């Protein structure tokens, strides 16, 4: 963006002193706005040349004052250059602050990051916009950024104006080598940092995006799901200890509803209501995205709800199922997989993938309906499950080929 700056020195006759001297003023015009004040130098009116903006003559006093005026001119040009070199647009306000010696405190990356996380924490506490897991991820991202600053610069914090493409590229390298993060995990942490940088850009604190040209593509990850046979193995298995039977029921409930762990844990009986077709539906909001989920209940899910209808802990709390911690659930699911002869890394999140593929898409439920039930904001998120089905089709056709041959 172009700017216009000019400098003028003039003697102000209306301010004559008792000794008959007149003060010299400087006028700096920036984009049409004037900054003017006395430079605390005085001359005889006859010694001043309005056309030249300098004193006339060749004695020591004249040379000293004219040299001082040249020094002020050099200072104006230097401040102009500093503002431009800092990547800022020259304005009347930022020039005046520099000229008057008012220096703006640098905005530091970790400080800005912390302010963002503090605001997020307040929203989480109020139950608005974000969930606790998102706050944990941003706090982890902040900690990684602090550790990277120590590793690369031996600094606790850094001026955001020092951020550039090299910073982002080196941060990616550090996450993958020093923190041993996978590619997609690395991209998540960098994406969190980018949100902070974008906020600085919108507020005008940065003029150039350090992420410009940096590719943040993610690698596709195979989403594992249980087959129909796997589901039957788990369903038909009766375990000798109650804790495994509890986990089995909760896991199967998720397989037949598509609810994530956090959503099963918070599901209350009041969220099960008659749907548009008169049957029982789950009417809830996803904790992760706060999007609405409307899920018609299938018979296996209804039977599990009925099973725990009079279970005291559920009656007292109003929750549908007695869900324990995610860590314990996943630990017990590994036991269940071993006892059922399932060779997959069984985690609670596989239940959601199983609902999307084995339970719905494989049985002809349109992808738009599956996306709605899963609470996805974008159909592209759901379309990944269709790729899983393509592989299943290939496997099924291979079995058919063997039969026909």
Long-range contacts of 303-308 (CB under 8 A, 24+ apart): 304/249, 304/252, 304/253, 305/253, 305/272, 307/249, 308/249
Query: What helix, strand, coil percent values describe the chain, rounded to 5?
Result: 55, 10, 30
Distances (CA, A) of 112 to 59, 107, 119, 159, 310: 56, 7, 11, 10, 51
Q: Based on the fold, state whether residues 78 and 124 are members of the same structural domain.
A: no
Q: Based on the fold, state whether residues 60 and 173 are members of the same structural domain.
A: no
Half-sphere exposure of 90 (CA within 13 A, CB side): 23
**Hey, what are 243's tokens?**
């804790």
User: Residue 92 sits in which domain range?
Assistant: 5-99
Q: Per the domain annotation, does 219 fall within a domain? A: no
Q: Based on the fold, state whether residues 270 and 369 are members of the same structural domain.
A: yes
Please compute the mean of the pLDDT values over residues 14-42 and round it to a whole number.
91
Whole-number Å distance between alpha carbons of 133 and 286: 13
Q: Based on the fold, state whether residues 45 and 89 are members of the same structural domain.
A: yes
Q: Per the domain annotation, does 27 fall within a domain? A: yes
Q: Based on the fold, state whether residues 292 and 394 are members of the same structural domain.
A: yes
Half-sphere exposure of 84 (CA within 13 A, CB side): 11
301-325 pLDDT, tens digit each: 999 999 998 888 888 888 999 999 9
pLDDT of residue 26: 94
Q: Per the domain annotation, does 275 fall within a domain? A: yes
Q: Per the domain annotation, does 221 fall within a domain? A: no
Q: Per the domain annotation, does 216 fall within a domain? A: no
Q: Based on the fold, state whether residues 189 and 236 are members of the same structural domain.
A: no
Chosen domain end from 64, 99, 134 = 99
Q: Per the domain annotation, does 341 fall within a domain? A: yes
Q: Based on the fold, state whether residues 115 and 240 are members of the same structural domain.
A: no
Half-sphere exposure of 203 (CA within 13 A, CB side): 10
51-106 pLDDT, tens digit each: 999 999 889 999 999 999 999 999 999 999 988 887 778 888 888 888 887 666 78
Q: Based on the fold, state whether residues 77 and 165 are members of the same structural domain.
A: no
Q: Based on the fold, state whether residues 297 and 356 are members of the same structural domain.
A: yes
Chosen domain end from 99, 121, 150 = 99
Between residues 388 and 39, the one the model is more confident about:
39
Q: H helices within 203-241, ranges in order? A: 228-236
Contact 63, 15 (CB under 8 A): no
pLDDT of residue 363: 84
pLDDT of residue 146: 96
Overall domain count for the chain = 3
Q: Based on the fold, state whether residues 299 and 382 are members of the same structural domain.
A: yes
Q: Based on the fold, state whether residues 233 and 180 are members of the same structural domain.
A: no
Q: Based on the fold, state whether residues 320 and 190 are members of the same structural domain.
A: no
Q: Per the domain annotation, does 133 fall within a domain? A: yes
Q: Name the percent of the chain lying above pLDDT 90.
A: 55
CB count in 10 Å sphere of residue 377: 11
Average pLDDT, the chain: 89
Does pLDDT of 41 surpass 80?
yes
**Hey, what are 80's tokens?**
């102009």
């Amino acid at each position: 963006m172009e700017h216009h700056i000019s400098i003028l020195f003039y003697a102000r006759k209306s301010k004559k002193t008792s000794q008959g001297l007149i003060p010299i003023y400087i006028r700096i015009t920036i984009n049409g706005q004037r900054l003017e004040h006395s430079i605390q130098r005085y001359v005889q009116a006859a010694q001043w040349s309005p056309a030249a903006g300098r004193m006339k003559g060749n004695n020591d006093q004249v040379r000293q004052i004219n040299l001082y005026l040249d020094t002020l001119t050099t200072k104006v040009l230097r401040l102009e250059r500093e503002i431009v070199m800092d990547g800022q647009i020259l304005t009347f306000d930022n020039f005046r602050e520099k000229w008057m010696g008012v220096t703006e405190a640098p905005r530091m990356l970790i400080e800005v990051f912390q302010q963002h996380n503090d605001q997020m924490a307040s929203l989480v506490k109020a139950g608005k916009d974000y969930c606790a897991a998102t706050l944990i991820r941003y706090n982890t991202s902040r900690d990684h950024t602090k550790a990277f600053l120590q590793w690369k610069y031996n600094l606790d914090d850094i001026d955001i104006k020092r951020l550039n493409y090299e910073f982002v590229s080196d941060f990616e390298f550090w996450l993958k080598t020093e923190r041993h993060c996978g590619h997609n995990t690395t991209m998540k942490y960098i994406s969190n940092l980018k949100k902070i940088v974008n906020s600085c850009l919108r507020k005008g604190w940065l003029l150039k995006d350090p992420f410009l040209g940096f590719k943040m593509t993610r690698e596709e990850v195979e989403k594992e799901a249980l087959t129909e046979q796997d589901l039957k193995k788990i369903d038909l298995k009766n375990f000798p200890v109650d804790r495994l039977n509890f986990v089995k029921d909760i896991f199967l409930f998720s397989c037949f509803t598509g609810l994530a762990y956090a959503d099963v844990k918070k599901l209350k009986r009041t969220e099960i209501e008659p749907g548009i077709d008169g049957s029982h539906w789950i009417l809830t909001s996803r904790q992760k995205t706060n999007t609405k989920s409307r899920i018609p209940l299938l018979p296996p899910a209804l039977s599990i709800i009925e099973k725990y209808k009079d279970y005291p802990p559920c009656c007292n709390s109003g929750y549908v199922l007695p869900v324990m911690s995610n860590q314990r659930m996943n630990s017990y699911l590994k036991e269940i997989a071993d006892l059922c002869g399932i060779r997959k890394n069984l985690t609670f999140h596989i239940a959601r993938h199983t609902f999307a593929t084995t339970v719905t898409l494989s049985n002809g439920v349109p992808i738009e309906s599956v996306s709605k039930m899963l609470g996805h904001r974008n159909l592209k998120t759901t379309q990944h499950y269709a790729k899983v089905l393509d592989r299943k089709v290939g496997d099924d056709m291979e079995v058919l080929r063997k039969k026909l041959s």
